[in-house]
Protein backbone atom coordinates (compact mmCIF):
# COMPACT_ATOMS: atom_id res chain seq x y z
CA UNK A 1 0.00 0.00 0.00
CA UNK A 2 2.88 2.35 0.72
CA UNK A 3 4.08 1.90 -2.85
CA UNK A 4 0.64 2.83 -4.19
CA UNK A 5 0.55 5.92 -2.00
CA UNK A 6 3.98 6.94 -3.25
CA UNK A 7 2.82 6.49 -6.86
CA UNK A 8 -0.31 8.55 -6.10
CA UNK A 9 1.76 11.33 -4.56
CA UNK A 10 4.18 11.28 -7.47
CA UNK A 11 1.33 11.51 -10.02
CA UNK A 12 -0.29 14.40 -8.16
CA UNK A 13 3.06 16.18 -7.97
CA UNK A 14 3.69 15.72 -11.69
CA UNK A 15 0.19 16.96 -12.55
CA UNK A 16 0.55 20.01 -10.32
CA UNK A 17 3.89 20.85 -11.88
CA UNK A 18 2.90 20.32 -15.53
CA UNK A 19 -0.83 21.05 -15.36
CA UNK A 20 -0.60 23.66 -18.11
CA UNK A 21 0.54 20.93 -20.52
CA UNK A 22 -1.32 17.88 -19.18
CA UNK A 23 -4.81 19.44 -19.15
CA UNK A 24 -4.81 20.37 -22.89
CA UNK A 25 -3.40 16.93 -23.69
CA UNK A 26 -6.24 15.22 -21.79
CA UNK A 27 -8.80 17.43 -23.54
CA UNK A 28 -7.27 16.54 -26.88
CA UNK A 29 -7.43 12.82 -26.14
CA UNK A 30 -11.04 13.02 -24.93
CA UNK A 31 -12.16 15.03 -27.96
CA UNK A 32 -10.28 12.73 -30.35
CA UNK A 33 -11.81 9.58 -28.84
CA UNK A 34 -15.29 11.12 -28.83
CA UNK A 35 -15.16 12.18 -32.49
CA UNK A 36 -13.64 8.86 -33.61
CA UNK A 37 -16.43 6.93 -31.86
CA UNK A 38 -19.07 9.19 -33.41
CA UNK A 39 -17.61 8.63 -36.85
CA UNK A 40 -17.46 4.87 -36.32
CA UNK A 41 -21.06 4.68 -35.05
CA UNK A 42 -22.59 7.12 -37.54
CA UNK A 43 -20.15 7.85 -40.35
CA UNK A 44 -22.79 8.96 -42.88
CA UNK A 45 -20.91 12.09 -44.02
CA UNK A 46 -17.65 10.99 -45.59
CA UNK A 47 -15.90 14.33 -45.17
CA UNK A 48 -16.19 14.16 -41.37
CA UNK A 49 -14.56 10.72 -41.31
CA UNK A 50 -11.22 12.13 -42.43
CA UNK A 51 -8.64 11.72 -39.71
CA UNK A 52 -7.08 15.09 -40.59
CA UNK A 53 -10.32 16.93 -39.81
CA UNK A 54 -10.76 14.97 -36.58
CA UNK A 55 -7.24 15.89 -35.46
CA UNK A 56 -7.78 19.58 -36.25
CA UNK A 57 -11.07 19.73 -34.32
CA UNK A 58 -9.59 17.78 -31.38
CA UNK A 59 -6.66 20.21 -31.32
CA UNK A 60 -9.10 23.12 -31.21
CA UNK A 61 -10.94 21.47 -28.31
CA UNK A 62 -7.71 21.13 -26.33
CA UNK A 63 -7.44 24.92 -25.99
CA UNK A 64 -11.15 25.63 -25.50
CA UNK A 65 -13.43 25.15 -22.47
CA UNK A 66 -14.78 21.65 -21.85
CA UNK A 67 -18.23 22.64 -23.15
CA UNK A 68 -16.69 23.05 -26.60
CA UNK A 69 -16.17 19.27 -26.82
CA UNK A 70 -19.90 18.76 -26.25
CA UNK A 71 -20.72 21.35 -28.93
CA UNK A 72 -18.37 19.72 -31.45
CA UNK A 73 -19.76 16.28 -30.67
CA UNK A 74 -23.30 17.55 -31.23
CA UNK A 75 -22.26 19.27 -34.47
CA UNK A 76 -20.63 16.10 -35.82
CA UNK A 77 -23.71 14.07 -34.90
CA UNK A 78 -26.15 16.45 -36.59
CA UNK A 79 -24.04 16.69 -39.75
CA UNK A 80 -23.77 12.91 -40.00
CA UNK A 81 -27.52 12.54 -39.49
CA UNK A 82 -28.26 15.29 -42.04
CA UNK A 83 -26.31 13.32 -44.61
CA UNK A 84 -28.39 10.26 -43.73
CA UNK A 85 -31.83 11.80 -43.19
CA UNK A 86 -32.93 15.39 -42.83
CA UNK A 87 -35.76 14.31 -40.54
CA UNK A 88 -33.35 12.55 -38.18
CA UNK A 89 -31.10 15.60 -38.09
CA UNK A 90 -34.06 17.89 -37.29
CA UNK A 91 -35.39 15.71 -34.46
CA UNK A 92 -32.00 14.99 -32.89
CA UNK A 93 -30.95 18.63 -33.31
CA UNK A 94 -34.08 19.78 -31.46
CA UNK A 95 -33.35 17.21 -28.76
CA UNK A 96 -29.77 18.47 -28.39
CA UNK A 97 -31.01 22.05 -28.12
CA UNK A 98 -33.43 21.18 -25.32
CA UNK A 99 -30.74 19.22 -23.50
CA UNK A 100 -28.24 22.08 -23.76
CA UNK A 101 -30.79 24.51 -22.33
CA UNK A 102 -31.58 22.14 -19.48
CA UNK A 103 -27.97 21.14 -18.89
CA UNK A 104 -26.47 24.65 -18.96
CA UNK A 105 -29.22 25.88 -16.64
CA UNK A 106 -28.70 23.37 -13.82
CA UNK A 107 -25.26 21.75 -14.02
CA UNK A 108 -22.83 23.54 -16.35
CA UNK A 109 -19.80 22.16 -14.51
CA UNK A 110 -20.59 18.50 -15.26
CA UNK A 111 -19.66 18.68 -18.92
CA UNK A 112 -17.44 15.64 -18.67
CA UNK A 113 -20.44 13.47 -17.75
CA UNK A 114 -22.30 14.20 -20.99
CA UNK A 115 -19.19 13.23 -22.98
CA UNK A 116 -18.06 10.21 -20.96
CA UNK A 117 -21.42 8.51 -20.44
CA UNK A 118 -22.04 7.58 -24.10
CA UNK A 119 -18.43 6.32 -24.27
CA UNK A 120 -19.00 4.19 -21.15
CA UNK A 121 -22.19 2.80 -22.69
CA UNK A 122 -20.18 1.57 -25.67
CA UNK A 123 -17.68 0.00 -23.24
CA UNK A 124 -20.55 -1.71 -21.33
CA UNK A 125 -19.69 0.06 -18.06
CA UNK A 126 -22.07 3.06 -17.90
CA UNK A 127 -22.77 2.42 -14.21
CA UNK A 128 -19.41 3.92 -13.24
CA UNK A 129 -20.73 7.42 -14.01
CA UNK A 130 -23.72 7.66 -11.61
CA UNK A 131 -21.71 6.13 -8.73
CA UNK A 132 -18.80 8.49 -9.39
CA UNK A 133 -21.00 11.56 -9.65
CA UNK A 134 -22.70 10.65 -6.38
CA UNK A 135 -19.27 10.66 -4.74
CA UNK A 136 -17.74 13.80 -6.23
CA UNK A 137 -20.85 15.66 -7.36
CA UNK A 138 -24.24 16.47 -5.90
CA UNK A 139 -27.95 15.77 -6.45
CA UNK A 140 -28.00 18.19 -9.41
CA UNK A 141 -25.48 15.90 -11.14
CA UNK A 142 -28.41 13.55 -11.77
CA UNK A 143 -29.52 15.99 -14.48
CA UNK A 144 -26.18 15.76 -16.29
CA UNK A 145 -26.27 11.98 -16.02
CA UNK A 146 -29.81 11.95 -17.45
CA UNK A 147 -28.67 14.18 -20.35
CA UNK A 148 -25.83 11.78 -21.13
CA UNK A 149 -28.24 8.84 -21.14
CA UNK A 150 -30.62 10.64 -23.50
CA UNK A 151 -27.79 11.54 -25.89
CA UNK A 152 -26.68 7.92 -26.09
CA UNK A 153 -30.17 6.51 -26.64
CA UNK A 154 -31.06 9.11 -29.28
CA UNK A 155 -28.05 8.17 -31.38
CA UNK A 156 -28.46 4.47 -30.60
CA UNK A 157 -32.08 4.53 -31.79
CA UNK A 158 -31.12 6.01 -35.13
CA UNK A 159 -28.29 3.53 -35.77
CA UNK A 160 -30.49 0.63 -34.65
CA UNK A 161 -33.32 1.58 -37.03
CA UNK A 162 -31.32 3.05 -39.90
CA UNK A 163 -32.55 0.32 -42.29
CA UNK A 164 -36.20 1.11 -41.56
CA UNK A 165 -35.66 4.87 -41.84
CA UNK A 166 -33.69 4.52 -45.07
CA UNK A 167 -36.40 2.33 -46.60
CA UNK A 168 -39.02 5.05 -46.21
CA UNK A 169 -39.60 7.06 -49.35
CA UNK A 170 -38.76 10.76 -49.49
CA UNK A 171 -42.47 11.54 -49.76
CA UNK A 172 -43.08 9.99 -46.33
CA UNK A 173 -41.62 12.92 -44.40
CA UNK A 174 -44.43 13.03 -41.85
CA UNK A 175 -44.16 9.27 -41.33
CA UNK A 176 -40.42 9.57 -40.72
CA UNK A 177 -40.92 12.32 -38.15
CA UNK A 178 -43.60 10.28 -36.39
CA UNK A 179 -41.50 7.11 -36.41
CA UNK A 180 -38.44 8.85 -34.95
CA UNK A 181 -40.29 10.92 -32.33
CA UNK A 182 -42.46 8.00 -31.19
CA UNK A 183 -39.42 5.75 -30.94
CA UNK A 184 -37.59 8.25 -28.72
CA UNK A 185 -40.53 9.21 -26.51
CA UNK A 186 -41.71 5.62 -26.02
CA UNK A 187 -38.28 4.19 -25.28
CA UNK A 188 -39.00 2.39 -21.98
CA UNK A 189 -35.41 1.22 -21.57
CA UNK A 190 -34.15 4.80 -21.66
CA UNK A 191 -36.67 5.86 -19.00
CA UNK A 192 -35.70 2.96 -16.73
CA UNK A 193 -31.98 3.73 -17.09
CA UNK A 194 -32.52 7.44 -16.37
CA UNK A 195 -34.51 6.59 -13.24
CA UNK A 196 -31.92 4.04 -12.07
CA UNK A 197 -28.97 6.39 -12.61
CA UNK A 198 -30.72 9.38 -10.99
CA UNK A 199 -31.67 7.35 -7.91
CA UNK A 200 -28.13 5.95 -7.73
CA UNK A 201 -26.59 9.44 -7.79
CA UNK A 202 -28.86 10.67 -5.00
CA UNK A 203 -28.42 7.57 -2.80
CA UNK A 204 -24.62 7.64 -3.12
CA UNK A 205 -24.53 11.38 -2.41
CA UNK A 206 -26.66 11.09 0.73
CA UNK A 207 -24.73 8.15 2.15
CA UNK A 208 -21.23 9.49 1.48
CA UNK A 209 -22.09 12.64 3.46
CA UNK A 210 -22.92 10.66 6.60
CA UNK A 211 -20.59 11.09 9.57
CA UNK A 212 -19.81 7.38 9.88
CA UNK A 213 -16.67 5.40 9.28
CA UNK A 214 -16.18 4.16 5.72
CA UNK A 215 -19.06 6.33 4.48
CA UNK A 216 -17.69 6.40 0.92
CA UNK A 217 -17.33 2.62 0.74
CA UNK A 218 -20.84 2.13 2.13
CA UNK A 219 -22.18 4.65 -0.39
CA UNK A 220 -20.49 2.89 -3.31
CA UNK A 221 -21.80 -0.53 -2.30
CA UNK A 222 -25.31 0.81 -1.71
CA UNK A 223 -25.24 2.67 -5.01
CA UNK A 224 -24.21 -0.46 -6.92
CA UNK A 225 -26.96 -2.51 -5.25
CA UNK A 226 -29.62 0.17 -5.82
CA UNK A 227 -28.59 0.50 -9.45
CA UNK A 228 -28.99 -3.24 -10.06
CA UNK A 229 -32.31 -3.42 -8.18
CA UNK A 230 -33.90 -0.47 -10.02
CA UNK A 231 -32.80 -1.79 -13.41
CA UNK A 232 -34.14 -5.26 -12.65
CA UNK A 233 -37.45 -3.94 -11.27
CA UNK A 234 -37.79 -1.71 -14.33
CA UNK A 235 -37.11 -4.70 -16.55
CA UNK A 236 -39.86 -6.70 -14.81
CA UNK A 237 -42.39 -3.87 -15.02
CA UNK A 238 -41.68 -2.51 -18.50
CA UNK A 239 -40.14 -5.62 -20.12
CA UNK A 240 -37.02 -3.83 -21.38
CA UNK A 241 -35.21 -7.13 -22.09
CA UNK A 242 -31.98 -6.10 -20.39
CA UNK A 243 -29.38 -8.77 -19.76
CA UNK A 244 -29.07 -9.67 -16.07
CA UNK A 245 -25.49 -10.89 -16.50
CA UNK A 246 -24.51 -7.72 -18.35
CA UNK A 247 -26.01 -5.51 -15.62
CA UNK A 248 -24.33 -7.36 -12.75
CA UNK A 249 -20.96 -7.74 -14.49
CA UNK A 250 -20.94 -4.12 -15.65
CA UNK A 251 -21.83 -2.90 -12.16
CA UNK A 252 -19.06 -4.97 -10.55
CA UNK A 253 -16.46 -3.64 -13.00
CA UNK A 254 -17.76 -0.11 -12.47
CA UNK A 255 -17.45 -0.56 -8.70
CA UNK A 256 -13.80 -1.59 -9.06
CA UNK A 257 -13.11 1.47 -11.22
CA UNK A 258 -14.77 3.74 -8.65
CA UNK A 259 -12.50 2.23 -5.97
CA UNK A 260 -9.56 3.69 -7.90
CA UNK A 261 -11.33 7.07 -7.90
CA UNK A 262 -11.82 6.83 -4.14
CA UNK A 263 -8.14 6.06 -3.67
CA UNK A 264 -7.14 9.28 -5.43
CA UNK A 265 -9.89 11.54 -4.06
CA UNK A 266 -10.86 10.30 -0.60
CA UNK A 267 -8.41 7.94 1.06
CA UNK A 268 -8.38 8.40 4.85
CA UNK A 269 -7.25 6.55 7.96
CA UNK A 270 -10.27 5.90 10.19
CA UNK A 271 -8.07 4.32 12.87
CA UNK A 272 -6.74 7.81 13.74
CA UNK A 273 -10.14 9.52 13.92
CA UNK A 274 -10.38 12.32 16.47
CA UNK A 275 -13.46 13.96 17.94
CA UNK A 276 -12.97 17.55 19.03
CA UNK A 277 -15.29 19.76 21.06
CA UNK A 278 -14.99 23.51 21.49
CA UNK A 279 -17.20 26.54 21.91
CA UNK A 280 -17.50 30.23 21.30
CA UNK A 281 -19.91 32.88 22.58
CA UNK A 282 -22.87 31.52 20.62
CA UNK A 283 -22.31 27.83 19.75
CA UNK A 284 -20.89 24.52 20.89
CA UNK A 285 -18.98 22.69 18.16
CA UNK A 286 -18.57 18.92 17.88
CA UNK A 287 -16.06 18.08 15.16
CA UNK A 288 -15.04 14.68 13.85
CA UNK A 289 -11.61 14.85 12.20
CA UNK A 290 -10.44 11.99 10.00
CA UNK A 291 -6.85 12.39 8.75
CA UNK A 292 -5.93 11.72 5.14
CA UNK A 293 -3.41 9.01 4.41
CA UNK A 294 -0.30 10.63 3.01
CA UNK A 295 3.29 9.56 2.73
CA UNK A 296 6.39 11.52 1.98
CA UNK A 297 8.72 10.31 -0.67
CA UNK A 298 11.92 9.08 0.97
CA UNK A 299 14.96 11.12 0.07
CA UNK A 300 17.90 9.14 -1.10
CA UNK A 301 21.19 10.18 0.44
CA UNK A 302 24.31 9.23 -1.38
CA UNK A 303 27.37 8.96 0.78
CA UNK A 304 30.59 9.21 -1.12
CA UNK A 305 33.52 7.26 0.26
CA UNK A 306 36.94 8.12 -1.02
CA UNK A 307 39.89 5.90 -0.37
CA UNK A 308 42.47 7.48 1.92
CA UNK A 309 45.39 8.80 0.05
CA UNK A 310 48.79 7.85 1.29
- Digit-by-digit pLDDT tens for the chain (310 residues) are 677 777 878 888 888 898 899 999 999 999 999 999 999 988 899 999 999 999 999 999 999 988 899 899 999 999 999 998 888 999 999 999 988 887 766 666 777 888 899 999 988 899 999 999 999 988 888 988 999 999 999 999 999 888 888 887 666 788 888 888 888 888 999 999 999 999 999 999 999 998 888 888 999 999 999 999 999 999 999 888 888 899 999 999 999 999 988 888 877 777 788 888 888 888 888 888 888 777 666 566 666 666 555 5
pLDDT of residue 223: 94
SS (H, E, C) 178-237: HHHHHHHHCCHHHHHHHHHHHHHHHHHHHHHCCCCCCHHHHHHHHHHHHHHHHHHHHHHH
pLDDT of residue 132: 93
pLDDT of residue 218: 93
> Within the chain, where are the H helices?
2-17, 19-41, 51-62, 67-84, 86-106, 111-122, 128-136, 141-160, 162-167, 173-185, 188-208, 215-238, 244-265
Helix (H, G, I), strand (E, B) or coil at 172: coil
pLDDT of residue 301: 61
pLDDT of residue 40: 92
pLDDT of residue 73: 93
Phi and psi, residue 268, nearest 5°: -125, 165
DSSP letter for 308, please: P
- Answer whether 103's CB lies under 8 Å from 114's CB: yes
* Helix or strand (DSSP H, E) at 274: strand 274-279
pTM over 0.95: no
pLDDT of residue 296: 63
User: Distance between CA 254 and CA 228 in Å, rounded?
Assistant: 12
User: Distance between CA 232 and CA 244 in Å, rounded?
Assistant: 8
Amino acid sequence: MTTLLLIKQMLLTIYGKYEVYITPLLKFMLAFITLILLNSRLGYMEMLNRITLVLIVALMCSFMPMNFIVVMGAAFSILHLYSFSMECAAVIGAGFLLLFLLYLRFSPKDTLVVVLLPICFLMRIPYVIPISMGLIGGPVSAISVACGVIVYYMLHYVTKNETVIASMAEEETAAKFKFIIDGLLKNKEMVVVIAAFAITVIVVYLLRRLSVDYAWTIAMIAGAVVNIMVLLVGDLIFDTNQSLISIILGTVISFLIVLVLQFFVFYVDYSRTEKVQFEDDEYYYYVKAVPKVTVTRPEKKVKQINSKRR
